[in-house]
């Protein structure tokens, strides 16, 4: 690579094939603000005695919640297992469509539990059906630690995903671990600029920021996304593509992160959120509550499409 960001090897390993217990029926209590609608995989029945819907699972238990357009498409799953099945289908379909249209697919990972939720994507049928040679992989944020450190988002993605799929090593754009936080952020931004110039990365027609095909992101219980934390000045950054932080409230403290203009220039964003500890932040984001402090997740509004993948615990306050 002529660019300064590292391209790293993705060796193949044997795939795990875990099986999880499934529960057949999902009941989602809904406030009048939200509506559950029928969706491909499932049939929904209105429970006339209360403002709730029952969702009978056919392929994966899920209910779709209709929100104002800017909130995106919100789908709630009976379990994280069902969520991961649907997430794999969504990502594989998008990758195939976009790869066919433009010959490449640029995808961005966060750290955290998101990466484990991608486990179905590295299994059959997708392991065989996806054209992995078209994938270009990036990180929305990274901890400033060596790549073999347990805190490294690269290492997490490598262990759970990259080592299991034949993505060309030169298409994996990891952040430099030889630099300071500031140096690594500048280096990654230079890398992105080079990739825009060489037409590997699209650019937003509206604002000139890079436009990724898909960002796959988790959210913290405090409503942070990437390394953009509530109340931190990085949330306001609107010029840089990649910024650094040395006082992250979530350890480790030194990190780099895409900024909001980059995140919101995306063609597609999937917010993948599971667990009851995140229910309040999910509610704040989707119910349009006015907090004294705006949560970073409330600022996610891509140029393209936004899709929420929630398990029923994360959606329990909706």
Ligand X SMILES: O=C(O)[C@H](O)[C@@H](O)[C@H](O)[C@H](O)COP(=O)(O)O
- Contact residues for ligand X (CB under 6 A)? 110-114, 141, 153, 218-220, 224-226, 250
Closer to ligand X by CB, 36 or 273: give it: 273
Residue placing its CB nearer to ligand X in the complex, 114 or 172: 114
Token pair of 218 as six digits:
């988790």
Q: Which residues pair with 155 in a beta bridge?
A: none
188 three-class SS:
helix
Shortest Cβ 46–ligand X spacing (Å): 33
Identify the CA nearest to 157 among candidates 96, 121, 110, 227.
110
Query: Which is closer to ligand X, CB of 86 or CB of 110?
Result: 110
Q: How far is the CB of 316 from ligand X (least distance, A)?
A: 16
- The CB-of-12 to ligand X minimum distance in angstroms stands at 25
For the bound state, the minimum distance from the C-beta of residue 134 to ligand X, rounded and expressed in Å, comes to: 24
Residue (220 or 261) nearer to ligand X, CB:
220
For the chain, the farthest-separated pair of C-alpha atoms sits apart, in whole angstroms, at 64
Residue 294, class by beta-carbon neighbours within 10 Å (0-12 exposed, 13-18 middle, 19+ buried)?
middle
Distance of closest approach, residue 113 Cβ to ligand X, in angstroms: 3
Task: Compute the CA torsion angle 44, 50, 51, 56 (nearest 10 deg).
Answer: -20
Residue 18's alpha-carbon distances to 63, 84, 216, in angstroms, are 24, 12, 22
Report the nearest approach of ligand X to the CB of residue 251 (Å): 9
Is there a contact between 214 and 266 (Cβ–Cβ < 8 Å)? yes
Q: Which is nearer to ligand X, 44 or 185 (CB)?
A: 185
Q: What is the CA radius of gyration of the chain?
A: 19
The label of the residue with tokens 């630099």 reads 179
Shortest Cβ contact with ligand X: which residue? 112
Cβ–Cβ < 8 Å for 42, 57 = yes
Identity of the residue, 131 or 222, whose beta carbon is nearer to ligand X in the bound complex: 222
């Amino acid at each position: 690579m002529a660019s300064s960001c590292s391209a790293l090897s993705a060796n193949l390993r044997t795939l795990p094939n875990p099986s999880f217990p499934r529960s057949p029926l999902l009941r989602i209590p809904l406030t009048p603000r939200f509506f559950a609608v029928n969706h491909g995989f499932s049939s929904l029945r209105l429970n006339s005695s209360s403002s709730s819907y029952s969702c009978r699972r056919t392929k994966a238990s899920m209910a779709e919640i209709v929100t104002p357009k800017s909130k995106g498409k919100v789908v709630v799953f009976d379990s994280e297992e069902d969520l991961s099945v649907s997430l794999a289908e969504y990502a594989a379909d998008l990758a195939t469509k976009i790869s066919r249209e433009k010959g490449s697919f640029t995808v961005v990972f966060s750290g955290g539990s998101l990466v484990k939720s991608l486990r179905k994507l590295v299994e059959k049928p997708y392991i065989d059906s996806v054209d992995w040679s078209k994938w270009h992989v990036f990180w929305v944020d990274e901890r400033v630690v060596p790549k073999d450190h347990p805190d490294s988002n690269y290492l997490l993605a490598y262990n759970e995903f990259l080592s299991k799929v034949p993505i060309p090593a030169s298409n994996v754009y990891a952040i430099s671990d030889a630099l300071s936080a500031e140096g690594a952020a500048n280096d990654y931004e230079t890398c992105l600029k080079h990739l825009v110039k060489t037409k590997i990365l699209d650019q937003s027609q509206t604002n000139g920021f890079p436009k990724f095909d898909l960002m796959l992101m988790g959210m913290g219980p405090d409503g942070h996304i990437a390394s953009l934390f509530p109340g931190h000045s990085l949330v306001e950054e609107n010029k840089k593509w990649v910024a650094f932080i040395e006082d992250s409230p979530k350890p480790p403290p030194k990190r780099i992160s895409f900024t909001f203009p980059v995140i919101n220039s995306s063609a597609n964003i999937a917010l993948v959120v599971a667990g009851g500890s995140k229910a309040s932040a999910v509610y704040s984001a989707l119910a349009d509550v006015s907090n004294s402090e705006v949560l970073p997740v409330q600022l996610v509004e891509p140029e393209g499409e936004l899709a929420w993948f929630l398990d029923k615990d994360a959606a329990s306050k909706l």
